[in-house]
Amino acid sequence: MDNLKTAVLLLQDGRFFNGKIFGSEGETIGEVCFNTGMSGYQEILTDPSYCRQIVTMTSPHIGNTGVNPDDIESNRIQVAGFVIKEETIIPSNWRSTQSIGDYLKEQKIVGIQGVDTRAITRHIRNHGAMNGIISTIDSDLESLKKKLSQAPNMTGFDLAKEVTCQNQYSWSSINQSTNQSINFKVAALDYGIKYNILRLLERNGCEVTVFPAQTSARKILDFNPDGVFLSNGPGDPAAVSYGIKTVKEILGKKPIFGICLGHQILALALGAKTFKLKFGHRGINHPVKNLETGQVEITSQNHGFAVDLDSLPANVEPTHMNLNDNTSAGIRCDELKAFSVQYHPESSPGPHDSRYLFQQFINMMEYAQKN
């Protein structure tokens, strides 16, 4: 690492970290956050929910298993930048096709290594998530501060329109699947959807058509699906006004299942409010209590906003709670046939404790078909 070019990470409040280049040369700006997962870095890199974010990995060694073309959650790397303690230059895994450093270079993603990721994480936990800039071409802090001052904050930022698909498409045709028994027709609104959500819906007997985030309720209803899925995604849910409007107009007409940003958009459409968390929840070991069964699920999470539980209307009940900070992790509105969770039951990466939620969606569609 001593021979590598220097790099610097400057945070919005003036704290900076000197390190070495990791990935591509250049400069990048985004909201700095941290992920506590010890594995799954490739899925994290390609998760659209990380759009415009600089991700700090708390695990000290990143790249042990290399990179492969299968463990991706979208068609490209989505993070704005990547921060690690130390890169594993020579990966050791039979599925690996290249190192993580080469992967970042190939997709022109700027990163930094050789920094104290524990200190960065503690700083964000104490002071909250904030914008930052990584540069390998400019080491002048005053110059970097000026560039950083022009960057927008995440609050009020609609990023769903940046990561959504441009045209509707059938997941089955993209995925070239032929062996699944199809029982349900699902319309998925793409606010930044992950591939493994689509895989699991299909595995549960759903023929999934993915629609752009700005699709109208009329178009979805004319498509006449058995159910509507609201995907994960980046940014401030309150800024996705078109998505909230669409969901309001679909409520009660079709069964709805939402994940993460989809959960927040559903809550807003039902009349609740959302707020920005101090530093967000990102990792694969977050405990969530199922309020109906009393069981605790270990979950995969990635979000910076949450639903205000005190703002839930009378006809909406909380179903899950995050045990780290008692924030909303799930809601349900029986009379309007809608439910959602603030975590990732598709668990890519992460534990499989919550995959029953896909069956819950299936059951809801099956009941709607019969009634």
Tokens of 324: 């780290």
Catalytic one among 123, 281, 320, 344?
Answer: 344
Catalytic one among 43, 260, 281, 320?
Answer: 260
Q: C-alpha angle 252/293/347, rounded to 5°?
A: 75
Tokens of 328: 């909303």
CB within 8 Å of 44: residues ≥ 6 apart:
35, 37, 50, 55, 57, 79, 302, 349
Rounded Cα gap, residues 158 and 233, in angstroms: 10
Active-site residue 51, yes or no?
A: no
Rounded Cα gap, residues 302 and 58, in angstroms: 14
Catalytic one among 87, 207, 297, 346?
Answer: 346
Active-site residue 260, yes or no?
A: yes
Could you give the C-alpha distances from 78 to 30, 110, 186, in angstroms and in order? 12, 12, 26
Please report the sign of the dihedral spanned by the C-alpha atoms of residue 43, residue 47, residue 51, residue 55: negative
Rounded Cα gap, residues 186 and 368, in angstroms: 13
Rounded Cα gap, residues 55 and 115, in angstroms: 13
* CA-based end-to-end distance of the chain: 64
Rounded Cα gap, residues 237 and 213, in angstroms: 12
At 3, the amino acid letter reads: N
Rounded Cα gap, residues 230 and 250, in angstroms: 11
Tokens of 180: 């699944």
Contact predicate 205/222, CB 8 Å: no
At 99, the amino acid letter reads: S
Tokens of 255: 């069964």
Rounded Cα gap, residues 197 and 351, in angstroms: 14
Q: C-alpha angle 233/237/238, rounded to 5°?
A: 160
Active-site residue 207, yes or no?
A: no
Q: Could you count the other beta carbons within 10 Å of the beta carbon of residue 326? A: 10
Tokens of 100: 């993580």
What is the SS3 assignment for 364? helix
Question: Among all residues, which ones are annotated catalytic?
Answer: 260, 344, 346
